[in-house]
Amino acid sequence: MMIEDTTVANLLSSHADRLLIGDDHAQDYLALFAEVRYDIAPLLRLARDLAAWLRPVKPRAAFRQDLHRSLVASGYRQLSHSLALEPLDHDTRRDWMLSAAAIGSAVSVVGVLAYLWRSRSGNGAPPLPIQ
């Protein structure tokens, strides 16, 4: 029976994590995956040997702070660059069109309000024909 690569990777990762805290549960893993024990036993031994030689390294606080500042600054630069709006080209013809449309809308609103005010006051003006 063949075991998937991701399962082997997860098994070795779990075993390495346990070795870092001083627990060697290789026999448990071999019992759990008995059908492939001859395939994974050398990998578990290799992980145990590497754990004996390699120890976790904790970086100095100054290095961590400098790295944090650099990463935040880099992220800020990338984010501000991606969110920067491109400058709009100043188009005077478009400005005139927008201004004319705004004035036309205002005149229309004033006209409707004048018509409603005049029709309510009842000063004898004939009503507009609505069909």
pLDDT of res. 88: 47
Residue by residue, DSSP assigns 1-68 as -PPPHHHHHHHHHHHHHHHHTT---HHHHHHHTGGGHHHHHHHHHHHHHHHHH-------HHHHHHHH
Condensed to tens digits (0 to 9), the pLDDT of residues 89-130 reads 556 777 788 888 889 888 888 888 888 887 777 655 556 666
Per mean pLDDT, which range of 10-24, 38-52, 57-71, 116-130 is the poorest?
116-130
Q: Are 125 and 118 in contact (CB under 8 A)?
A: yes
By CB atoms closer than 10 A (0-12, 13-18, 19+), residue 47 is buried
Residue 3 pLDDT > 90 = no
pLDDT of res. 64: 92
Residue 17 pLDDT > 60 = yes
Mean of pLDDT values over 36-46: 84
Model confidence, pTM: 0.39
Torsion of the alpha carbons at 89, 95, 98 and 101, rounded to the nearest 10: -160
Percent of the chain scoring above 90 in pLDDT: 9
